Amino acid sequence: MKIYEFFSDWCLAGKGYQEFYQKVSGEGTEYVRVPDPNALRVVLENGKLSVQWNKESRTADMVVLAPAIVPAAGSEKLAAQFGLTLDKNGFFTAENERISPAATTVRGVYIAGCAAGPKDVPQSALQGQAAAGLALSSLVPGEKMELETATSCVDENLCSGCRTCLGLCPYQAISFDETKRTAAVNQILCKGCGVCVSGCPSGALENKHFSNKQINSEIEGALP
């Protein structure tokens, strides 16, 4: 059996990928680089399939198309229901790709596998185990949920009601109080990341234990 692999970009970054590539290359698989995949054409000639590009071609008994992966249908609706964020390609985003790749900005909601982007089987299995572990760790009988202490708070006297912070908060912890016409922070959802504090145009938001007054006092205390 002769196998041809047509590709435009090749990346062998995973553990064991190079060894796998060398193994299949030695067993008769031929890799053909086509810089522009749109140039590929599959036509039927004399009962055989012909893969053609530019002035070259290869004949085959069977052609398998491996298209790029796209987000599952309904991802936008699901993200809106749970208050999750999507990346520019429409996949669910993790709280932190390096530190916490299976957690989201919504407590109790975890992601794994191709929900977060294209992955192979080992990567999907590993992230699935991480998500399961996070879910189980939050279901320990008798364990109390610990809240952040350095959460953000709103000075209602300074808040202009511009609602800028509502779109900045990655944890959906800020709402708008229609009665007071000011922003309100949910202390349970807030993680104290400080994004809203840095983005507030009126300076009405500040982090508990990390206010400008406290930080300036620490700086003055550290100076000789």
Q: What is the CATH number of the domain that holds 186?
A: 3.30.70.20
For residues 143 and 139, what is the distance between their CA atoms, to the nearest angstrom? 8
Per-residue burial over 132-145, b if 16 or more Cβ lie within 10 Å, else e, is: eebeeeeeeeeeee
pTM: 0.60
Tell me, yes or no, whether 169 and 204 share the same domain. Answer: yes
Do residues 116 and 162 both lie within one domain?
no
Give the model's confidence band at 145: pLDDT under 50 very low, under 70 low, under 90 confident, else very high.
Answer: low
Domain boundary among 108, 137, 166: 137
Pull the structure tokens for residue 157: 């006297």
Tell me if residue 81 falls in helix, strand or coil. Answer: helix
142 part of a folded domain: no
Give yes or no: residues 114 and 164 share one domain. no
- Give the phi and the psi of residue 20 in degrees, each rounded to 5: -65, -40
220 found inside a domain: no
The Cα 174–Cα 156 span in angstroms is: 13
Residue 145 domain flag: no
Q: Region 122-151: what's the mean pLDDT?
A: 83
- 221 found inside a domain: no
Same domain, 133 and 156: no
R_g of the chain, CA atoms, integer Å: 26
Count the helix, strand and coil residues of the chain and give each as a percent rounded to the nearest 5.
30, 20, 50
Examine the fold and report which residue of 88, 104, 137 is the final residue of a domain before the chain moves on. Answer: 137
Cα end-to-end distance, the chain, whole Å = 78
Is there a single domain that holds both residue 112 and residue 81?
Answer: yes
Q: Tally the domains of the chain.
A: 3
Backbone angles phi, psi at 42, to 5 degrees: -115, 120
Report yes or no on 48 lying in a domain.
Answer: yes
Count other Cβ atoms within 10 Å, centred on residue 211: 13
Q: Is residue 66 part of a domain?
A: no
Residue 110 pLDDT greater than 90, yes or no: yes
pLDDT of 115 strictly over 90:
yes
Q: Which tops the pLDDT comparison, 141 or 103?
A: 103
The reply to whether 111 falls in a domain is: yes
Domain assignment of residue 127, given as a range: 75-137
Asked whether 31 and 7 are in contact (CB, 8 A), the reply is yes
Residue 207 lies in a domain: yes
Residue 123 shares a structural domain with residue 156: no
User: What average pLDDT does this structure show over 95-111?
Assistant: 87
Average pLDDT over residues 68-95: 90
